Amino acid sequence: MILSPDEEAVLAGEEGETRARMLEILVALGKVYGAERLIPIVSAQVSGASYKTIGRWGLDWLQRLDARVSVPTVLNPVGMDRSRWQEMGITPEFAQVQEKVLDAYRRLGVTMECTCTPYYLYSTRYGDHLAWSESSAVVYANSVIGARTNREGGPSALAAAIIGKTPEYGLHLVAARRPQVVIRVEDGDRLSDAAHLGALGYLAGRLVGSRIPLIEGIRPKKDLLKALGAAMAASGAVALFHVKDITPEARIFSYPTGGLEVISLGFDEVSAAMEEIPVDAVALGCPHCSPDELSRIAELLAGKKVRIPVFVFASRDVASRHPEEVAAIEESGAHVFADTCMVVSPAMERFSAIMVNSGKAYAYIPNMCGAAVRLGTTEECIGVATEAGAESPR
């Protein structure tokens, strides 16, 4: 890799031990992936913020760092709502260690927003170079916005945040963003809810792995593209997809698809993934809810009471800018929590079966929460939570 004189000085330790170690991480990554140089980034998003996932070792590592981030940087969801953790059933012991993780990041200059939807916080534009690590945010940034980020690990995203640069390889290069497989969707106009797109993404992700799909036969709006990408990133390792005539790069470039493998999926496969099992909680907001999704949930809950626990997750920023929707949801007995989610919080581990409208949550909950999971449309989730005969709230 070719480093500038300023970068060489950082590497030599002239700006402190932490900056030197962080640049070493970026240079090592760059060498592995054949990058020729470092390029500036616009923002960073760092995973590894929930104590549930990083544990004691991660906290110790963070506490040893001594530097400041150079670009706007936020965190992935942590293990609890920072102000309402008691209502979530989080123990004081967990809250204390989670606060220590947050303090360590605060000391580095990281903004205390804990969300997997950083694109709702500040404007991220077509062509921006980023270092984001949450897989659903990465796939949204690349595919729906047309920004450019690799799927960073927590340490490499933090290193990029501190240095303000990332090695130029992978999805930062236009040539690496071409489709590698085609997914042809039959009856695509019947896929109208986040759960349908989540199920489609869940099935597609398992078939395409880490390849870049070009999807034909659907015309989803942004919230549904979010659900689709999050699920493909979870069941596969998709970091970029294109939807014919819809996503920015599919509109700008014409991609020849001759010779690519074609996979067909349709409404029947999607319906089969939405098998019915009894559940004792409902969790919505994976990835964190957009303003429109909060409104829709509020509408569905209007005049109803929930009979089993219902958790809705959103970023603190989105929730605080939409107090009426939050109040309307909570009027039903459901909770809207910020900073955290159903997968990274230990609060969901007390349930035996959780209903979700997200293909990503569907992929992660069994392993991360030790619960069975059922996938349903947003309307079905609210229907199950409010129907007579559902279990009483805990």
- The answer to whether the CB of 346 falls within 8 A of the CB of 94 is yes
Stretch that binds ligand F3S, among 146-154, 240-248, 340-348, 349-357 (CB under 6 A): 340-348
Rounded CA separation 123/42 (Å): 10
Q: Per rule CB under 6 A, is residue 27 in the interface with ligand F3S?
A: no
The one-letter amino acid code at 101 reads: V
Task: Give the residue with the Cβ less far from ligand F3S, 181 or 344.
Answer: 344
Q: Per rule CB under 6 A, is residue 136 in the interface with ligand F3S?
A: yes
What is the C-alpha R_g of the chain?
Answer: 21
Q: Per rule CB under 6 A, is residue 286 in the interface with ligand F3S?
A: yes
Stretch that binds ligand F3S, among 105-113, 283-291, 299-307, 314-322 (CB under 6 A): 283-291
Stretch that binds ligand F3S, among 7-15, 52-60, 102-110, 281-289 (CB under 6 A): 281-289
The number of residues in the chain equals 394
H or E element, residue 103: helix 92-107
Task: Give the residue with the Cβ less far from ligand F3S, 136 or 357.
Answer: 136
379 phi and psi angles, rounded to 5 deg: -65, -45
Q: How far is the CB of 272 from ligand F3S (least distance, A)?
A: 23
Q: Which of 94, 132, 337, 364 binds ligand F3S (CB under 6 A)?
A: 364
Task: Give the residue with the Cβ less far from ligand F3S, 76 or 386.
Answer: 76
Closest CA to 322 of 339, 306, 345, 338: 338
Q: With the CA atoms of 61, 63, 64 and 66 taken in that order, what torsion angle do they form, in degrees rounded to the nearest 10?
A: 130
The one-letter amino acid code at 50 reads: S
Q: How far is the CB of 233 from ligand F3S (least distance, A)?
A: 8
Q: Which of 52, 172, 360, 374 binds ligand F3S (CB under 6 A)?
A: 360
Strands 181-186 and 261-266: parallel
Stretch that binds ligand F3S, among 17-25, 86-94, 291-299, 356-364 (CB under 6 A): 356-364
Stretch that binds ligand F3S, among 149-157, 175-183, 320-328, 341-349 (CB under 6 A): 341-349
380 phi and psi angles, rounded to 5 deg: -65, -40
Task: Give the residue with the Cβ less far from ligand F3S, 85 or 364.
Answer: 364
Q: Per rule CB under 6 A, is residue 344 in the interface with ligand F3S?
A: yes
Rounded CA separation 219/112 (Å): 35
Binding mask 57-96 for ligand F3S (x = CB under 6 A): -------------------xx-------------------
Q: Per rule CB under 6 A, is residue 313 in the interface with ligand F3S?
A: yes
Q: Which of 230, 300, 308, 334 binds ligand F3S (CB under 6 A)?
A: 230
SS3 of 172, please? helix
Q: Per rule CB under 6 A, is residue 139 in the interface with ligand F3S?
A: no
Q: How far is the CB of 203 from ligand F3S (least distance, A)?
A: 18
- Measured in whole angstroms, the distance separating CA 335 from the mean position of its chain's CA atoms is 20
Q: Per rule CB under 6 A, is residue 315 in the interface with ligand F3S?
A: no
> Within 13 Å and on the Cβ side, how many CA atoms surround 84?
12
Q: Per rule CB under 6 A, is residue 287 in the interface with ligand F3S?
A: yes
52 phi and psi angles, rounded to 5 deg: -60, -35
Q: Per rule CB under 6 A, is residue 140 in the interface with ligand F3S?
A: no
33 phi and psi angles, rounded to 5 deg: -100, 10
Q: Which of 306, 343, 371, 382 binds ligand F3S (CB under 6 A)?
A: 343
- The answer to whether the CB of 212 falls within 8 A of the CB of 241 is yes
Concatenating the DSSP letter of every residue in 207-249 gives: HHTTS-EEEES----HHHHHHHHHHHHHHS-----EETTTSHH
Restricting to residues 166-225, which ones interact with ligand F3S according to CB under 6 A?
Answer: none
Enumerate binding residues for ligand F3S (CB under 6 A): 76-77, 116, 134, 136, 230, 286-288, 313, 341, 343-344, 360-361, 364
